[in-house]
Amino acid sequence: MRNRKPSPLTAWLTSLSLVVSLATGIMVSSDAHAKSAKTPNNGPHVKVSSDLLAKAHGPNKADVVPVILQLNGPMSGGLNALLNSNGVHGAKQVFKNLNYQVIEMPASLVEAVSKFDEVNFVSPDRATQSTGHLSATTGADLVRNPVTTTTTTTNSLGVQVTTTSVTPGVDGTGIGIAIMDSGLYQAHTNFFDKGNNVRVVYSKDFTGENRTDDPYGHGSHVASIAAGNGRVSNAAYLGIAPNANLVNLRVLNSQGTGTVSGILAALNWVLANRQLFNIRVVNMSLGTPAVDSYRDDPLCKAVRALVNAGVVVCCAAGNNGKNAAGQKIYGLIHCPGNEPSAITVGAANSFGTDGRGDDTIATYSSRGPTRSFSTDANGVKHYDHLMKPDMVAPGNKIVEAKSPNNLLVSQNPQLDASVSGADTRDQMYLSGTSMSTPVVAGAAALLLQANPNLTPNMVKAILMYTAQPLANFNMLEQGAGEVNIEGAVRLARAVRTDLVSVKPVGGALLKTSTPPTPSSTICGYTFNWSQGIILGQHWARGTSLITKYQPVYALGAIVSDTVDISGGVIVSDGVVISDGVVVSDGVVISDGVIASDGVVISDGVVVSDGLELGTGASAFDFGVIVSDSLSDGVIISDGVVVSDGVVISDGVVVSDMIVAAQSAMTGGEDMLQDNIVPDDGTDCLSY
């Protein structure tokens, strides 16, 4: 790190950071206990979503609205009587595995309903919509073929003994990936196995359109990124886990939109059927504005239930990284990407090259922190303020499977890659965090094939620990960095396989005493791993994260939430994080360097060491969020989480609350070249 004379603003940031540390508490001692998820600073929180509550007190409060009722037990006679007296007879939908009900009721009734003890939370049934050479640039090609290792040792007689071992390659075989999207065009060549069997093992519609194909065009593309084979164009468009099984859960309709209740129905189905199809990974390239705190939001809680059941859930960060003027915006991570237990994925731009030295963060990729909130009895908002995304993956101008006559290409002809004249082999472009998310979903499938005993939290930690930090971008833009499948699979293979029955806190995590070398070389470019993981508002770093079993790796714990981890102690006592791990005090990194106390780090990024002043601690409810350099300006104001003078109230974009596919549908950012490889109709089976 270079020595620089701090500017007056930097010195001010340093002073502010010390105030932040005193105001919020760093929580590193053995006596620091997590706050209860249900007891904010000013008493019990309101059990109705803020937008639904506003409607309940507005001029249209008599309107009948669909709401999601989260229950902690059976309905009482009093609640049943209240609903029946207002003309509500029975639930529209019941999700038994989640204990949710979808009920239509007058908006004026929601506040009274929320006061019953058996009601956890009431929220609207919001609408939803979908928000390079991937296998090479992500390192997936490097783990697909068997690896032969030869070692020579000297025995007790002094004789040298040479042994050869073969580590099988990984391609997703046996792992089920559930694609929650707009359906799949199952006849596409990308979805066959080498025996010409379709790898889409189950399909179900949750939109009410009674079809499971893909008239919108988003789902087939997403599924092909995660698990497309390399038959077309000599494997130019090879997916990440080309032999994984796909479960097609159609939650977005022909226009690419859906509802929260539709997605909840699909998540509820996965909870009930995950073992039947060995669903170990769920991909959600969709989202809706994150309004309610993840502790209350029904989508977030359903995702948490899946993760606790052993399923990795990958969610798109969203595509709200810049405004119409091209200026960076912070704080617009979408739901359910604001859920701590999910792997939230932002988009990187590889510029169409396999080498990773030129990779950047796509300007449209949503940045953290999460701005979902709860409201206490005094009307004070308590923001989640979690560092997201968790990582990034290539998501710009990705070429993958095209479903025939789909709406996206019909409305945007430039998305047609014109690879083949055959519908079953043609490809299309799409850009967005919708495309980067299935890259990570496919990577998770490879890790679980390499080591089936990994928990979702271990998968997430391994992916973050081995990620490549990208220069000139802070953690609110890239999380731990860009996904590195070569390093992640290598580390996953080194993890003990007997941790299902034995989980010694602080005990050995690896099969050997020597951890893997923390660097990777992909397409001739060598880089160091991040060697850390995100812990909510903190950054944990150190080899103990992979050499010692960490309690947060267990089912039921939360890697990325230092506020509520089973009511336990935050760090440094062997309950949540064992010894040997360095935990930051809420800072942001760049180039893999931790910046604390407001210092200026080597690439000119300036950050304070506290992202949150703590509600009620100051006139400001949010701390310092800066763009890439001080020249962009710093804004600190109530509810403002954007740089360059752009103000978005409370960090939430006013929208129609549609859950949408997270794709920049009209194309992405510039590429050095398009690298389109025409298909000659010959199947490549060497993938």
Per-residue pLDDT tens digits for 254-279: 999 999 999 999 999 999 999 999 99
> At residue 492, does pLDDT exceed 50?
yes
- 506-538: pLDDT as tens digits: 789 999 889 999 999 999 999 999 999 998 888
Predicted local confidence at residue 533, as pLDDT: 93
Beta bridge partner(s), residue 510: 495
Confidence of residue 675 (pLDDT cuts 50, 70, 90): low
Cα(538)–Cα(609) distance, integer angstroms = 10
pLDDT for residue 247 is more than 70: yes
Give dist(CA 220, CA 214) in Å, integer.
Answer: 7
Confidence band of 501 (pLDDT split at 50, 70, 90): low
Q: What is the per-residue pLDDT for 572? A: 38
Is residue 313 predicted with pLDDT exceeding 60? yes
Torsion over CA: 390, 394, 397, 402 (sign)? negative
The stretch 389-406 carries a mean pLDDT of: 94
**For tokens 């796909």, what's the residue?**
246
Q: Note the pLDDT of residue 351.
A: 83
User: For position 10, what pLDDT does the model report?
Assistant: 34
Q: Cα torsion for 50, 652, 647, 330, to the nearest 10°?
A: 140
Indicate if the pLDDT at residue 616 is higher than 60. Answer: no
Contact call for residues 589 and 599 (beta carbons, < 8 A): no
C-alpha 666/C-alpha 429 separation (Å) is: 9
Q: What is the DSSP string of 167-228?
A: EPP-S-TT-EEEEEES---TTSGGGB-TTS-B-EEEEEE-SSS---S-SSSHHHHHHHHHH-
High-pLDDT (> 90) share of the chain, %: 53
Sequence-distant (≥ 6) Cβ neighbours of residue 607 within 8 angstroms = 13, 474, 587, 588, 595, 598, 624, 626
Cβ atoms of residues 620 and 636 within 8 Å:
yes
Tokens of 216: 């919108």
Cα first-last separation, the chain: 44
Distances (CA, A) of 234 to 185, 231, 240, 419, 427: 21, 6, 15, 12, 13
pLDDT of residue 196: 92
- What is the pLDDT at residue 561? 56
- Strand pairing partners for 198? 192
Q: What percent of the chain has pLDDT over 70?
A: 76
Token representation of residue 679? 């298909």
279 or 669, greater pLDDT: 279
Residue 546 has pLDDT above 70, yes or no: yes
Give 160 or 315, the one with higher predicted confidence: 315
pLDDT for residue 411 is more than 60: yes
User: Do 44 and 119 contact (CB within 8 A), yes or no?
Assistant: no
Domain extent, residue 101, equals: 50-126
Lowest mean pLDDT, pick from 66-80, 251-265, 553-567, 604-618: 604-618
- Give SS3 for 595: strand
Q: Which of 596, 654, 648 is closest to 622 using CA atoms?
A: 648
> What is the total count of domains within the chain?
1
pLDDT, position 233? 86
Instruction: Identify the pLDDT of residue 42.
Output: 52
Does residue 409 fall inside a structural domain?
no
pLDDT at residue 587, rounded to an integer: 47
* Residue 120 in domain: yes
Q: Over the stretch 329-369, which tens digit does the pLDDT of each residue have?
A: 999 999 999 999 999 999 998 888 888 988 999 999 999 99
Mean pLDDT within 399-403: 94
Count the helix, strand and coil residues of the chain and give each as a percent rounded to the nearest 5: 20, 25, 55
Give the span between the Cα atoms of 645 and 633, in whole angstroms.
Answer: 7
d(CA 254, CA 272): 26
Strand, helix or coil for residue 98 = coil
* 105 assigned to some structural domain: yes
In this prediction, residue 540 has a pLDDT band, given cuts at 50, 70 and 90, of confident
Q: What distance in Å separates the CA atoms of residue 552 and residue 550, rounded to the nearest whole number?
A: 5
- The SS3 assignment for 597 reads coil
Is the pLDDT at 589 greater than 70? The verdict is no
pLDDT of 610: 31
Confidence class for position 664, pLDDT limits 50, 70, 90: low
Do the domain assignments include residue 536? no
The interaxial angle of helices 456-465 and 433-450, nearest 10 deg, is 110
- Torsion on CA atoms 305, 308, 313, 315, rounded to nearest 10: 60
Structure tokens of 533?
A: 């993981």
Using DSSP, state whether 247 is helix, strand or coil: strand
The more confident residue out of 470 and 2 is 470
| Residue 454 confidence (pLDDT) | 95
Secondary structure (3-state) at 528: strand
Taking residue 637's Cβ as centre, other Cβ atoms within 10 Å add up to: 12
pLDDT grade, residue 630 (50/70/90)? Answer: very low
pLDDT in tens, 41-72: 455 789 999 889 988 899 988 899 999 999 99
Provide the b/e sequence for 474-488 (b: ≥16 CB within 10 Å): bbbbbbbbbbbbbbb
Residue 132 pLDDT greater than 90, yes or no: no
pLDDT value of position 678 = 78
The pTM for the full model equals 0.81
- Most confident range, picked from 2-16, 73-87, 639-653: 73-87
Q: Which amino acid is at 174?
A: G
Average pLDDT taken over every residue of the chain: 79
In the chain, the amino acid numbered 108 is S
Structure confidence by residue, pLDDT tens digits, 425-468:
999 999 999 999 999 999 999 999 999 999 999 999 999 999 99
- Whether 86 is in a domain gets the answer yes
Report the pLDDT averaged over residues 23-46.
37
Alpha-carbon distance of 298 to 305, in angstroms, equals 10
Cα distance between residue 536 and residue 620, in whole Å:
21
What local confidence, expressed as pLDDT, does residue 593 receive? 41
User: How many other CB atoms are there within 10 angstroms of residue 165's CB atom?
Assistant: 9
Give per-residue pLDDT as tens, 178-213.
Answer: 999 999 999 999 999 999 999 999 999 999 999 999
- Cβ neighbors of 80 (< 8 A, separation 6 or more) are none
Residue among 15, 13, 20, 14 nearest 615 (CA): 20
Residue 635: pLDDT band with limits 50, 70, 90 = very low
Distances (CA, A) of 350 to 134, 138, 360: 9, 10, 7
3-state DSSP assignment of residue 438: helix
* Count of Cβ atoms closer than 10 Å to residue 357 Cβ: 12
73-79, long-range: CB < 8 A, 24+ apart: 73/99, 73/118, 74/118, 75/118, 76/116, 76/117, 76/118, 78/116, 79/113, 79/116, 79/118, 79/119
CATH of the domain at 77: 3.30.70.80
Tokens found for residue 510: 């690896």
- The answer to whether the peptide bond before residue 369 is cis (omega within 30 degrees of 0) is yes
Q: pLDDT tens across 110-129, in order?
A: 999 999 999 999 999 887 75
Give yes or no for residue 559 having a pLDDT over 80: no
What pLDDT is attached to residue 667?
A: 65
User: What's the whole-number mean pLDDT along residues 395-406?
Assistant: 93
Is the confidence at residue 469, as pLDDT, over 80?
A: yes
Q: How confident is the model at residue 87 (pLDDT cuts 50, 70, 90)?
A: confident
For residue 218, tell me if it sits in a domain. Answer: no
DSSP H or E stretch at residue 316 = strand 312-316
681 backbone dihedrals φ, ψ, rounded to 5°: 85, 0
Q: Which of 178, 179, 183, 204 is nearest to 254 (CA)?
A: 183
* Residue 651 vs residue 554, higher pLDDT: 554
Instruction: State the pLDDT at residue 236.
Output: 85
Assess whether pLDDT exceeds 60 at residue 27: no
pLDDT computed for residue 594 by the predictor: 39
Residue corresponding to tokens 């996953």: 492
Active site residues: 181, 218, 434
> Binning pLDDT at 50, 70 and 90, where does residue 686 land?
confident
pLDDT higher than threshold 50 for residue 555: yes
